[in-house]
């Protein structure tokens, strides 16, 4: 399957049972809600997916289960966040074997690679696989920026097709277009900047709060891309206090609480993460509950 890197692509949470095993029942409930809302892909094993706590066997199960659920309607993409080039190449090989149709890739983990090392890492993995790749550029959280000069080198790899743009610098959107035209698809990776990026020409949105509010997320994206800007803005302004739960160190716990509130998830996280308690929990629940009380009626948005 070729990938159209556009629209909303949820970075889905991983569901766990009370005994800390994969909860595939609630996982399927959430994936089906995403499909019903009209998302354009499913991304597994990102930060929201608690990837660093997943075993290789669990990643296999998640890929195969998601492929089974989506039935070819949208591509299934797995994140690669490895410490060594060798392990990243093996992860890409296994992803294809298990049925994933694309990869999202972070720079090397733990070691702060320089520009040459980072480019070499990406190139070696890209050249090892036929799967299309989206580079996850998030220097704020991961400490390595993939610069435009680095993307110029990566352009040699035809299967590096997209960037998840999470620099928090909206002007980077225009810098990309000025330098590369449409060579790379650009998807915003920051929930609180997504509408701004789309209005500046981004192809799509790798979203977090979509895990709890899939219809509202897709509606904003579709309306904005269709030129119905004011309608998109109104929904986005309602959504913003909830979206801000994504730019927080407890984003996984926050978003899982929101999934519980909308009936498409559970609160279970894998340690060392723990569920929210006390004043922090009350604050997050108040934001979610207020959003539910004022939840907008959405226009027909799926076929814009």
Phi, psi of 290 (to 5 degrees): -65, -40
Mean pLDDT of 130-155: 95
What would the 3-class secondary structure string for the chain be?
CCCCCCEEEEECCCCECCCCCECHHHHHHHHHHHHHHCCCCEEECCCCCCHHHCCHHHHHHHHHHHHHHHCCCCCEEEEECCCCHHHHHHHHHHHHHHCCCEEEECCCCCCCCCHHHHHHHHHHHHHHCCCCEEEEECHHHHCCCCCHHHHHHHCCCCCEEEEEECCCCCHHHHHHHHHHCCCCEEEECCHHHHHHHHHCCCCEEEECHHHCCHHHHHHHHHHHHCCCHHHHHHHHHHHHHHHHHHCCCCHHHHHHHHHHHCCCCCCCCCCCCCCCCHHHHHHHHHHHHHHHHCCCCCCCCCCC
pTM > 0.85: yes
- Of residues 300 and 304, more confidence is placed in 300
Q: Is the pLDDT of residue 141 over 90?
A: no
pLDDT tens digit string along 197-209?
999 999 999 999 9
pLDDT tens digit string along 69-122?
999 999 999 999 999 999 999 999 999 999 999 999 999 988 899 999 999 999
Average per-residue pLDDT in the chain? 97
Q: pLDDT confidence of 41, banded at 50, 70, 90?
A: very high
Q: With pLDDT > 90 as the criterion, what percentage of the chain qualifies?
A: 96
Mean pLDDT of 273-301: 98
pLDDT tens digit string along 213-271?
999 999 999 999 999 999 999 999 999 999 999 999 999 999 999 999 999 999 999 99
Q: Map out the domains of the chain with their CATH numbers.
A: 7-293 (3.20.20.70)
Q: Is the pLDDT of residue 1 over 80?
A: no
Do residues 121 and 106 lie in contact, with contact meaning Cβ atoms separated by under 8 Å? no
pLDDT value of residue 110: 84
Contacts of 120 (CB under 8 A, 6+ apart): 85
pLDDT value of residue 2: 85
pLDDT value of residue 86: 98
């Amino acid at each position: 399957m070729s990938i159209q890197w556009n629209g909303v692509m949820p970075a889905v949470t991983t569901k766990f049972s009370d005994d800390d095993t994969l909860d595939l029942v609630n996982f399927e409930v959430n994936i089906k809600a995403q499909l019903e809302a009209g998302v354009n892909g499913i991304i597994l094993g990102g930060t929201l997916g608690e990837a660093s706590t997943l075993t290789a066997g669990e990643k296999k199960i998640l890929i195969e289960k998601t492929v089974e659920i989506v039935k070819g309607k949208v591509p299934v993409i797995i994140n690669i966040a490895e410490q060594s080039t060798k392990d990243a190449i093996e992860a890409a090989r296994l992803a294809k074997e298990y049925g994933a149709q694309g990869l999202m890739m972070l720079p090397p983990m733990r070691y702060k690679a320089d520009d040459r090392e980072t480019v070499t890492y990406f190139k070696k993995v890209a050249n090892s696989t036929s799967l299309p790749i989206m580079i996850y550029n998030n220097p704020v959280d991961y400490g390595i920026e993939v610069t435009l000069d680095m993307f110029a080198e990566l352009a040699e790899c035809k299967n590096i097709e997209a960037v998840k743009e999470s620099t928090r610098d909206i002007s980077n959107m225009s810098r990309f277009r000025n330098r590369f035209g449409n060579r790379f698809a650009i998807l915003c990776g920051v929930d609180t900047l997504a509408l701004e990026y789309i209005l500046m020409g981004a192809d799509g949105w790798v979203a977090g709060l979509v895990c709890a509010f899939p219809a509202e997320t897709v509606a904003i994206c579709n309306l904005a891309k269709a030129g119905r800007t004011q309608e998109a803005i109104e929904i986005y302004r309602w959504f913003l206090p909830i979206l801000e739960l994504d730019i927080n160190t407890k984003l996984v716990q926050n978003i899982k609480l929101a999934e519980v509130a909308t009936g498409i998830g559970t609160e279970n996280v894998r340690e060392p993460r723990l569920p929210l308690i006390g004043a922090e929990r009350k604050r997050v629940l108040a934001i979610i509950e207020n959003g539910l009380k004022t939840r907008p009626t959405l226009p027909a948005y799926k076929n814009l």
